[in-house]
Chain A
Amino acid sequence: MTIARANAARALPVFSIAFAAIYIASVNYNLALLTYHPQLGQWAVLVDPPKEGPAMYWYGWLLTSALGAGAVAALSLALPARPVERASAVLVWLVPVAMIALIGYILRGYFLR
């Protein structure tokens, strides 16, 4: 394991933290970079309203989150290693748990009808 590789790897927890947060923001504000129309078998760039049948934004949300989290992770390499590692050790599970709770709250309408 080279030092450079290990140093770059510390951005991985940052990616996961950012991914969870950006994903939920993408869902809540519909920030999809892609839309799929399953009835037509067609893809569209960015958010495209339903045409025939439903429009699927899930693939687009994943792409938005992956690109956004990649950018945040890359930027985190410019920060001092030790504080980032310490914060990441807690935020890496706390943020996903909080985001799952938040999405449960957003979806509460399904369970309260």
Chain B
Amino acid sequence: MITFLLIIHSLAAVTLLGALTHQTISVLWPARQRTGSFVSSLRSVPSMTYTNAIIVLYVLTAIVGSLVYPEYRLSVRTTLHDFRLYGPEGAFELKEHMISIGLGLLPAYWYYWKYAGAKEQAATRTIVTGLLAAIVWYGFLTGHVLNNIRGFGS
């Protein structure tokens, strides 16, 4: 069951990472016109349509992650401690807190995409989106590395 949940967690995280990276690129580096190239297509996605999907995916990933978390505390973290792998252990602790702060950031993220004026809050919207993307990238890479050190079911 834990392995199944971990796979769901990973798949949701990959989808979230893709959507959020697309949105971040399109707000940081918007295309003036679509030329048909891959890079141009990447830069010209309709950013606003991603917002609700990103929130749902973030919450889903966090919920499934919270279900897997007790198993991490009981088996994976103990192993990290036994082998004195303090760096990876600390990296996961930081991930836990960054993901939590990102979870709290979602209402503001939604507000700046849906309610705030298009021009007057553009900078805030861009920074909040970039910050959320950085949090998700950090969480994804840390989770991936930790799983490679001592995966579930190993």
Contacts and interface: CB of A to CB of B under 8 A. Distances in A.
A89 B124 contact: yes
A59 to B, nearest CB: 7
Given A96-B131, A107-B93, A20 B86 contact: no
Interface residues of A, number: 43
B105 interface: yes
A77 interface: no
A105 to B, nearest CB: 11
B69 interface: yes
Given A13-B111, A103-B97, A38 B104 contact: no
A99 B135 CA distance: 13
Interface string A64-106: 0110010000000000000000001110110011011001100
Interface of B: 66, 69-71, 73-74, 77, 84, 86-87, 89-91, 93-94, 96-98, 100-101, 103-112, 114-115, 121, 123-124, 127-128, 131
3 closest A-B pairs by beta carbon, nearest first, are A110-B90, A19-B104, A38-B70
Interface of A: 1, 6, 9-10, 12-13, 15-17, 19-20, 23-24, 27, 36, 38-39, 53-54, 56, 58-59, 61-62, 65-66, 69, 88-90, 92-93, 96-97, 99-100, 103-104, 107, 109-111, 113
